[in-house]
Amino acid sequence: MLMNKVAEVNKWIGTILVLSGILLTNLNYYPLNIFLHGSGVIFWSVSGYLLRDKAILTNFGFQIPIFAFGIINFFLTS
């Protein structure tokens, strides 16, 4: 029961962060967009793990390295 509540809170935090990252991408606020969106992806991945939801883990788990490459690229090129 507690894990489900934690996962539910994580999903809402992740949703806010992902949507904020998408908004900032459309407003061209780089690199803040990848930091927020990437953080949201981590929250969603944790929720998927806690709920043992393979679809969520697949979707957001594969996004983690993509955002990691974006963050690394930012620091290497700035």
* pLDDT score for 78: 78
Phi, psi of 26 (to 5 degrees): -70, -25
Model-level pTM? 0.91
Domain segments of the chain as ranges: 2-77
Angle at 74 between CA 68 and CA 75, to 5 degrees: 95
Residue 36 CB neighbour total at 10 angstroms: 21
Question: pLDDT of 12-67, one tens digit each?
Answer: 999 999 999 999 999 999 999 999 999 999 999 999 999 999 999 999 999 999 99
